Amino acid sequence: MTVRDLGYRPYEGARLPASRNTSVMLRHALRRAWASWMVKVAAFISWVPFVFGCGFWMLQFWFNNQMAQQGQAAGDMGEAGAQMVFATLQWTVWLLGFLVTIGAGASAVAEDLAHDAFAFYFSKPVTAPQYLLGRVGAVAIWLFALLAIPGIALITVIAGASPADIRLEQLGLLLPLLIHSLFVSVVLSFLSVGISAFSKSRALTMTAWITLFVIPGVLARIVEEVGDWPWLKLAAVPSLITSVGAALFKIPGESEIEWYFSVPILVVSSLAAIYFAAQRVTKAKVIQ
């Protein structure tokens, strides 16, 4: 056959390298995550603890001042600050972590699998790790922002409304807050996106994630109350995260599970989840 060369007219401008597609995928996934109403609700309610925390702290500050004026011993505001930030984080991890991972994480890969959307992505110069980094990164960034930003604002208010001698100590809570937020974001994003690769059915992956997130925690609490046996918490993601948070904020007696049990379990399960997701995406992308 004669091949007619009609003279292709190529695009003359510059093209950016394919390695840049990780950030493109990430931005694309961030926009898709924001399209979920659950992420929007999470963004709104992430400020509720901050408002309540500020109000409570102002009340405590006023109460301590009154006590001091009357010559009575005031409470330890340094310890109280750490407890308040920790309690706020616990509340937000349970609620925000749940909403963001359900809305953006637990259905991320399933939706693309169901729609065969990989055909779009992988016909462009995009690799499976780039795709997955985008998906995981979007969940982690949203979660980190919703946990850390109100937390930073709360610590700033706490430090500002504390006596000058403990102000620096209060600001020191920023470091555990950032570490905790980062750890929680990475773990929950890895686990939820990993679960989302289990099936093409969004309903199934979301149900699986809800089950994993909620049921072991509730059972562990019941078993602990009834049988005084805390070790079932090792199977409950929020309880494991609580123990890590308690260690970071140095809150004694908050968790019966030590952080050195929790961290390896969370790290290994997160890595296993993301490895599984990578395998699924690679297989869905290409049949070797």
Partner 1 sequence: MSASIRAIRCSKWYGKVTALQDVSLHLGPGIWGLLGPNGSGKTTFMRICAGQLRPSLGEVQICGERPFNNSKALAQIGLCPEADALYDQMSALEFVTAMARLSGFSANDAEKRAKASLEEFGLEDAMKRRMGGYSRGMRQRAKLAQAVVHDPKVILLDEPLTGTDPRSRATILGALQRKAADGAVVMFSTHVLPEIEAITDQVLLIARGQLVAQGKVHEIRSLLEEHPHHVRVFTAEPRRLAALCVDIEGVVAMSFAPGGVEFMTYDPAATYQTIARKVVEHEVEIDSITSPDASLEALFHYLVERAAHGAGTGSDAGVGRARSLQQANPRTQNAPHPEGQYAQQNYAPGEGQ
Question: What is the binding site for partner 1 (CB under 8 A)?
Answer: 1-11, 13, 15-18, 20-21, 24-25, 28, 31-32, 35, 112, 115-127, 285-288
Given the complex with partner 1, which of 167 and 200 has the nearer CB atom? Answer: 200
CB of 209 to partner 1, least distance (A): 20
Given the complex with partner 1, which of 4 and 226 has the nearer CB atom? Answer: 4
Given the complex with partner 1, which of 24 and 267 has the nearer CB atom? Answer: 24
CB of 28 to partner 1, least distance (A): 5
Given the complex with partner 1, which of 38 and 153 has the nearer CB atom? Answer: 38
CB of 222 to partner 1, least distance (A): 39
CB of 243 to partner 1, least distance (A): 37
Give, for 237, the enclosing helix (H) or strand (E). Answer: helix 237-248
Burial class (CB in 10 A: 0-12, 13-18, 19+), 282: middle
Residue with tokens 């510059």: 14
Given the complex with partner 1, which of 9 and 164 has the nearer CB atom? Answer: 9
Is residue 114 within 8 A of residue 13, CB to CB? The reply is no
CB of 107 to partner 1, least distance (A): 12
Is residue 189 within 8 A of residue 105, CB to CB? The reply is yes
